Amino acid sequence: MKKKVIILITTLMILGSVFFSFFNRQQSPKVAAEKKRTTIVAATGGEPKPFTFVKNDKLTGHNIELLKAIFKKLPQYQLKIEKTKFESIFSGLKSDRYQIGVNNFAKNAEREKNYLFTDPIFQNSYVVIFKSKSQLSKKVTSWSDLKNLSTVGSTGVNTTTAIEEYNKNHTDGKIDFHYSAEDLASQLRSIESGKYDFLLMDKPMFKYYQKEFNFKLESKSVSGSLEKELLAEPYSYLIVSKGNEKLVKDINKALKQVVKDGTSKKINEKYFGEDYSPTYK
């Protein structure tokens, strides 16, 4: 009897060993694939809405949804998105703590020295916002028409970058620019109240806020020399930390697929009512 028990136990051990060996062989390709995935950390400031914002304790918005759609095409990467202070995005990219900055970023010479840029993710158009029935809206057709007028904006956004560049090159007739940490809705209220003369902003963003808040404001399309200077780079981009050229290449390939298959269009129409997807040659 004792001998039979020993034989039974030995048999079970052998069968168990065979089973686990088979199980491990079946699982190993998946485990190996998981191990090969490279973690990519993307950082965002969580505003301006609707490009990036927090809803029900989760990051969402045009840029966030588009980034996730891009990385669905890139199974070799595991994407993580973190919310941080806007200025911390840049320091995090320099140290490679973050590999991607996602915040409706414009391109300028200073940023090109420090970071890599993907292909465009969004094609902008701009408007100048005035208080309703403002006489100023009838006069402004160029940058020079804005000189000595007051405005407000956040650090690092496309329009702020454009105004900074104008002021740097026109010290004799600067735009009276005021930096603000307030959200865009508050900045629009400051135009409505008359605190500042105008606000330069993305057309799709203004339409989004106007639909939500119904401000007593009017917009004027950017045209003439104002359009020529501001729209020299009428796009938004993802910015990538230096040394990640392959990541940029992979993102660009997936981005073109997301635009081609209509995913980008669907995301744009969800937030803006029309498509602002870029076109590629």
Residue 189 has pLDDT above 90, yes or no: yes
pLDDT at residue 230 in the model: 58
Residue 197 has pLDDT above 50, yes or no: yes
Residue 231 has pLDDT above 90, yes or no: no
pLDDT at residue 137 in the model: 83
pLDDT at residue 14 in the model: 56
List CB contacts of 32: < 8 A, sequence separation 6 or more: none
pLDDT at residue 247 in the model: 98
Q: Tell me the three state secondary structure of residue 217.
A: strand
| Pick from 18-22, 150-154, 183-187, 233-237: least confident | 18-22
pLDDT at residue 161 in the model: 80
Output helix, strand, coil percentages for the chain, rounded to the nearest 5.
Answer: 50, 20, 30
Angle at alpha carbon of residue 173, lines to 125 and 162, rounded to 5°: 25
Mean pLDDT of 136-162: 84
| Contact by Cβ (8 Å): 163, 222 | no
| Contact by Cβ (8 Å): 103, 51 | yes
94 vs 23: CA distance, rounded Å? 44
Beta-carbon neighbour count of residue 32 at 10 Å?
9
pLDDT at residue 10 in the model: 53
Q: Tell me the three state secondary structure of residue 232.
A: coil
pLDDT at residue 224 in the model: 60
When the pLDDT of each residue in the chain is averaged and rounded to a whole number, the result is 86
Mean pLDDT of 12-36: 52
Q: Tell me the three state secondary structure of residue 223.
A: coil
159 vs 153: CA distance, rounded Å? 8
Per-residue confidence at 24, pLDDT binned at 50, 70, 90? low
pLDDT at residue 225 in the model: 60
Question: In 3D, which of 35, 37, 43, 38 has the Cα closest to residue 97?
Answer: 43
What is the tens place of the pLDDT at every residue in 51-65?
999 999 999 999 999
pLDDT at residue 54 in the model: 96
List CB contacts of 64: < 8 A, sequence separation 6 or more: 44, 52, 81, 102
| Pick from 43-57, 163-177, 214-228: least confident | 214-228
What is the tens place of the pLDDT at every residue in 60-90?
999 999 999 999 999 999 999 999 999 999 9
Beta-carbon neighbour count of residue 138 at 10 Å?
9
Name the token pair of 114. Answer: 């420090």
Could you list the beta-strand ranges (E) of the chain.
Answer: 38-44, 53-55, 58-60, 77-83, 100-105, 115-117, 122-123, 126-131, 150-153, 176-179, 199-202, 217-221, 235-241
46 vs 197: CA distance, rounded Å? 27
Q: How far apart are the first and last CA of the chain?
A: 81
| Pick from 51-60, 162-171, 185-194, 211-220: least confident | 162-171
| Pick from 72-81, 161-170, 192-201: least confident | 161-170
Predicted model pTM: 0.75
Residue 12 has pLDDT above 50, yes or no: no
| Pick from 53-62, 89-98, 100-109, 136-145: least confident | 136-145
Per-residue confidence at 1, pLDDT binned at 50, 70, 90? low
